[in-house]
Chain A
């Protein structure tokens, strides 16, 4: 007979399991508890589990170092040397050299020289268990499906795995991979795909099955499930090649906002033991150079004036607002508030919009009537999803923030139409 309802204790355990899985990464439990040796052993066991040749396992502190390491191992070293700062390159190379034997290095070099990089990438996914992982997941899912009613599965999904999937995979892991990818490509190095399985992206489904396994005892292959969990706990992400596994340790610092998006306005939002770090404001990646220049009002002002991308401008505004308050923002813009309006939309959503203008007028600026010698003017709006504050360039003739907001809607929209949102995301 199928299980149709959770007991009180099982219901209480939902939050316990959610927090248990979140703490693995956000309380740095995995970073603190997994030594280089244990990660190497786990990597060897992983390959054995999938019936693959025993690999040389190289442990790096960050996903970026994994990319540099594989580039150092597989390409003409001069090329990599030109692209990567000496200090960083030396630090990473020393780490690699300590862990890899010359013989393996030669083998890998020869192997990759003789293959097109795309072939290597395809080979990785086939080699390390995509098919086997699908079989394992299917087998466990069938057992859960046969023995647990839909409603209970949904309850566990909503309260454990969906939240973990969002927080770990979507709001942290995928962001980190995207930023590493951009940096590697910017440096004109080869980007090697990280593995599809055995990394942060498995947290969602593993937490789901871990809960059922430990609360219901209905999974016949629980030893396999626990093995996979252990592999994932030893690998934030990895590059999996034949005979060679390069693993990144988990981050040692993560900072997020109330929406659980990566966020910090005074330092990097995520960092790793080797010092590699990424900067985010309300979940949006921002370059280190822009971030550091925005720690002072004067330098932020120059960056802001030259930036055309609204998301980057919003990040600058948020940094200044959080670090120096509204007064700091007005100082950066050398501006005054012309008008403030609060608008009550549907479902209790209230929006505050402000009109700002620079004190100074500029001979080259026009208003919408073509008149020169105008001040800079902005309408300030806050994104209800991310909390990011946007300053949109506007016409300085406005004195009413609400009328201005109407004017910024698409050209087809008549100004008489009320400025009201049934939903705003």
Chain B
């Protein structure tokens, strides 16, 4: 991946703009980028975009300006993630995501008992 050094984060989801969609990625249905079972909250992008799976996260191609929300499932309506909309925030303010291609991953933590890096749990 070629990074453009235009990065942002919302909570533990970290976004890095890249030049093109990696060739080995598969297009998938829109879904939460991360969700917390404990609090019922989620991070998800709303608007006109395509989503691809990636071994370390997701690739998202925003066709136009989209909105990244951290909210609760109770605020999702039937329009789902198709419409660019600002939902009531859970903890983190919404982020305006400019048109572009992004690699999205979760911040890592180190487990000193197992000597491995893992996703942060919330």
Binary contact track A296-311/B, C-beta < 8 Å → 1, others 0: 0000000000001111
Do A394 and B109 form a contact, CB below 8 Å, given A284-B91, A421-B8?
Answer: yes
Contact with A along B85-122 (1 / 0, CB 8 A): 00011011111100000010111111111110100111
**Which among A309, A311, A366, A417 is the interface contact of B112 at CB below 8 angstroms?**
A366
Q: List 8 A-B contacts (CB under 8 A).
A: A365-B113, A368-B110, A374-B112, A393-B109, A409-B14, A410-B103, A411-B105, A418-B5
Q: Is B83 an interface residue (CB 8 A)?
A: no
Complex CA–CA separation, A407 to B11 (angstroms): 17
Contact A368 B120 (CB under 8 A): no
Beta-carbon contacts under 8 Å, A303-327 to B: 308-311
- Cβ-defined contact, B112 with A408, below 8 A: no
Query: What 0/1 readout, one digit per residue, does chain B (41-59) give for beta carbons within 8 Å of chain A?
Result: 0000000000000101100
B30 nearest CB across to chain A (Å): 20
**Interface of chain B residues 7 through 50 with chain A (CB within 8 A):** 7-12, 14, 16, 36, 38-40
* Contact between A410 and B108, CB atoms less than 8 A apart: yes
Could you tell me if A425 and B95 are in contact, using CB atoms closer than 8 angstroms?
yes
Q: Which residues of A contact B7 (CB under 8 A)?
A: 417, 420-422
Cα A283 to Cα B70 in complex, Å, equals: 14
The CA of A112 and the CA of B28, in the complex, are separated in Å by 45
A170-B88, A386-B92, A417-B5 known; A410-B110 Cβ under 8 A:
no
Which residues of A are found within 8 Å of B94, using beta-carbon distances?
A: 425
A393:B111 contact, CB within 8 angstroms? yes
Chain B: residues with CB nearer than 8 A to chain A? 1, 3, 5-12, 14, 16, 36, 38-40, 54, 56-57, 70, 72, 74, 88-89, 91-96, 103, 105-115, 117, 120-122
Closest to B36 in A: A311
A414 close to B (CB within 8 Å): yes
Residue of B nearest to A362 (CB): B112
A112 to chain B, nearest CB (A): 25
Residue numbers in B under 8 Å from A407 (CB-CB): 108
Could you say which residues of chain B place their CB within 8 Å of the CB of A394? 109-110
Is A221 an interface position by the 8 A CB rule?
Answer: no
Residue on B nearest A370 in the bound complex, by CB? B115
Given contacts A412-B56, A417-B16, contact A395 B8 (CB under 8 A): no
Residue of A nearest to B104 (CB): A410
A contact residues around B110 at 8 Å (CB): 368, 377, 392-395, 408
The A interface, classified by DSSP as helix, strand, loop or mixed, is: loop
Measured CB to CB, the residues of A under 8 A from B are 165-166, 169-170, 174, 178, 261, 282-285, 308-311, 364-368, 370, 374, 376-377, 383, 385-386, 392-396, 407-414, 417-418, 420-425
Query: Which residues of B have CB within 8 Å of A383?
Result: 11, 91-92
Q: Is A170's CB under 8 angstroms from B105's CB?
A: no
Bound Cα distance A166, B71 (Å): 12
Residue in A311, A408, A417 whose beta carbon sits within 8 Å of that of B122 in the complex: A311
Given contacts A166-B88, A370-B115, A421-B8, could you give 8 more A-B pairs where the C-beta distance is less than 8 Å?
A: A174-B72, A309-B38, A368-B115, A377-B112, A393-B110, A409-B14, A412-B54, A423-B96
How many Å lie between the Cα of A424 and that of B114 in the bound state? 31
Q: Are B57 and A392 in contact (CB under 8 A)?
A: no
The reply to whether A392 and B3 form a contact with Cβ atoms under 8 Å apart is no
Given known contacts A284-B91, A374-B112, A421-B9, A408 and B107 CB-to-CB distance under 8 angstroms: yes
Could you tell me the distance in whole angstroms from the C-beta of A337 to the nearest C-beta in chain B? 18
- Tell me whether A411 and B89 are in contact (CB under 8 A): no
Contact assessment for A412 and B9 in the assembled complex, using a CB-CB cutoff below 8 Å: no
Task: Please state if B107 and A409 are interface contacts (CB–CB under 8 Å).
Answer: yes
- Docked CA distance A383–B107 (Å): 13
Contact indicator B8/A376 (Cβ below 8 Å): no
Shortest CB-to-CB span from A22 to chain B, Å, is 17
* Cα A370 to Cα B112 with chains together (Å): 9
How far in angstroms is the closest Cβ of chain A from B69?
Answer: 10
- Per the bound structure, the CA–CA distance linking A422 and B121 in Å amounts to 24
A368 to B112: give the CA distance in the assembly, Å: 8
Q: Which residue of B lies closest to A311 (CB)?
A: B122
| B100 CB to nearest A CB, Å | 11
- Give the complex CA separation of A283 and B89 in angstroms: 11
Q: Are A422 and B8 in contact (CB under 8 A)?
A: yes
Instruction: Give, as a whole number of angstroms, the nearest-CB distance from A224 to chain B.
Output: 27
If the complex has contacts A374-B112, A409-B108, A417-B16, are A311 and B56 also in contact, measured as CB distance less than 8 A? no
A410-B14, A417-B3 given as contacts; is B92 within 8 A of A425 (CB)?
yes
Q: Given the complex, which residues of B lie within 8 Å of A386, measured CB to CB?
A: 91-92
Q: Across the interface, which residues of A come within 8 angstroms of B3, CB to CB?
A: 413-414, 417
Question: In the complex, are the beta carbons of A396 and B72 less than 8 A apart?
Answer: no
